[in-house]
A and B are shown apart, each in its own frame.
Chain A
Amino acid sequence: RKEVEQDPGPFNVPEGATVAFNCTYSNSASQSFFWYRQDCRKEPKLLMSVYSSGNEDGRFTAQLNRASQYISLLIRDSKLSDSATYLCVVTPSPGGGADGLTFGKGTHLIIQP
C-alpha cells in the first residue's frame, strides 16, 4: 500500500459547483498534513495546512480524519482558476524531515465554464 494515495482524476466540474476529494495515508504516526496546488508546468505551492480541528480559508476547507486516516479538501463555488493538480503531503513526525515529506500523486481538477 502506498504511503499516500489520491484519486488522480481528472475531476471535471462545472464552474460554481462544490467539489471535494480525499487523500488517504498509511502511517498512523503521521503528524503534519498539507494541501499543495500545482499548476501545469509550474512548481507546487502550499495551499493550506490541515489541522486536527479542520480549517477554512475562504472557499477552501480542509479536514483531517485520524480514525480513518484521510484528509479532505473541499472547494466551494469553484472558479475556472481553481483548475490545477492538488497534492496531498503527509509527514510522519512534527517538523517532518526530507525523508518524511511524502507527496501524493495529485488529483487533477478541471473547472469547466
Chain B
Amino acid sequence: EADIYQTPRYLVIGTGKKITLECSQTMGHDKMYWYQQDPGMELHLIHYSYGVNSTEKGDLSSESTVSRIRTEHFPLTLESARPSHTSQYLCASSVTGTSEAFFGQGTRLTVV
C-alpha cells in the first residue's frame, strides 16, 4: 500500500467558503500532483510540484492554489468554493527519476 493520505475523504460545503484539501506522503517523494476527475471521466492534472517551494499549473485551468513548504505536504486551497468545483480531487506522488505515481484515496468535494 502507498503511504499517501488525503483528508477529508468527503466534503460538502456551501458556496463561497474557503477550503483546503490536505495531502501528505511519507515516502519522501519529490514530485507531487493534484488531479481532478469527474465521475466516469478522465483525470486532469491541475497542479504539480518538483519539490519544496516548487509549484506549477497543470493542463487544466483551475481556480485553486497549492503550496509546497515541506516535502511531505502538498495542500490545495480553494479561496471561494463554487458548485462548478464539485468533483473528485486526487493527490499523487512519485520519486524523481521514476514515473510510477502513487495515488491517495481522493477527496470527493460537493459545493452546494
Number of interface residues of B (CB under 8 A): 28
Identity of the chain A residue whose Cβ is nearest the Cβ of B34 in the assembled complex = A98
CA distance A55 to B75 in the complex (A): 37
Question: Do residues B105 and A34 form an inter-chain contact, with CB atoms below 8 A?
Answer: no
Q: A43 contacts B99, CB within 8 Å?
A: no
Of chain B, the residue at the smallest CB distance from A87 is B43
The reply to whether A43 and B104 form a contact with Cβ atoms under 8 Å apart is yes
Q: Residue of A at shortest CB range from B57?
A: A99
Residues of B within 8 A of A91 (CB): 99
Q: Which of A46, A96, A103 contacts B43 (CB 8 A)?
A: A103
Number of A-B contacts (CB under 8 A): 60
Q: Is the CB of B105 within 8 A of A101?
A: no
- The answer on a CB contact under 8 Å between B103 and A98 is no
Are the C-beta atoms of A44 and B98 separated by less than 8 Å?
no
Map CB proximity to B onto A15-34 as digits: 1 under 8 Å, 0 otherwise: 00000000000000000101
Specify which of A87, A98, A104 is in contact with B33 (CB 8 Å cutoff): A98
| A104 and B99 contacting across the interface, CB-CB below 8 Å | no
Q: Is the CB of A98 within 8 A of B42?
A: no
Hey, which chain A residues are within 8 Å of B43, CB to CB?
A: 44, 87, 103
Tell whether, in the assembled complex, residue B42 and residue A103 are in contact, meaning their CB atoms are under 8 Å apart.
yes
Spell out A's residues near B (CB within 8 Å): 32, 34, 41-46, 49, 87, 89, 91, 94-101, 103-106
